[in-house]
């Protein structure tokens, strides 16, 4: 993947994780350029298959393209940052992210979006009114 593509993905993502919304500046680690559809499943380095992801979301997502909706125990596709609108699938409940759809719920669960450290970081950021 070339430097221009990396720059484009970071800029498009606003230097915040496109899944859990944490700004890179508050995580202490550089966000990853993540393949929405993993190369092992036919994904490419095309910018439409790339998203900016914090290390926690990227590591937990791995090559997965689906997860289990905990509300009804069925398989659901995961959130796709190029195709899906974030606000269509997720809502903030304070510093927690809740899934509003099967896609959202499966993504929140698989990516561990509400692990203690991320909730703590979002709480601190929200107190500074920087998270949106």
**Is residue 92 in a domain?**
yes
Domain that holds residue 109: 3-127
Domain total in the chain: 1
Average pLDDT per run of 10 along the chain, which is 132 residues long? 92 95 85 95 95 96 96 97 97 96 98 95 82 47
38: its two tokens: 């993993």
Cα distance between residue 102 and residue 119, in whole Å:
21
**Is residue 60 in a domain?**
yes
Cα distance between residue 4 and residue 40, in whole Å:
23
pLDDT at position 1: 82
Taking the model in full, what pTM does it have? 0.91
**Is residue 70 in a domain?**
yes
**Is residue 79 in a domain?**
yes
**Is residue 132 in a domain?**
no
CA gyration radius, the chain: 14
Residue 115, Cα to own-chain centre: how many angstroms?
13
**Is residue 45 in a domain?**
yes
**Is residue 82 in a domain?**
yes
């Amino acid at each position: 993947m070339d430097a221009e593509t990396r720059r484009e993905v970071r800029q498009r993502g606003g230097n915040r994780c496109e899944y859990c919304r944490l700004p890179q500046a508050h995580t202490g680690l550089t966000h990853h350029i993540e393949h929405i559809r993993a190369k092992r499943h036919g994904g490419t380095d095309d910018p439409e298959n790339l998203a900016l992801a914090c290390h926690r979301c990227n590591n937990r997502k791995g090559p997965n393209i689906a997860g289990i909706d905990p509300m009804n125990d069925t398989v659901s596709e995961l959130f796709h940052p190029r195709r899906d609108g974030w606000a269509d699938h997720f809502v903030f409940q304070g510093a927690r992210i809740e899934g509003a759809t099967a896609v959202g719920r499966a993504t929140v669960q698989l990516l561990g979006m509400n692990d203690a450290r991320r909730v703590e970081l979002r709480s601190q950021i929200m107190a500074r009114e920087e998270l949106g």
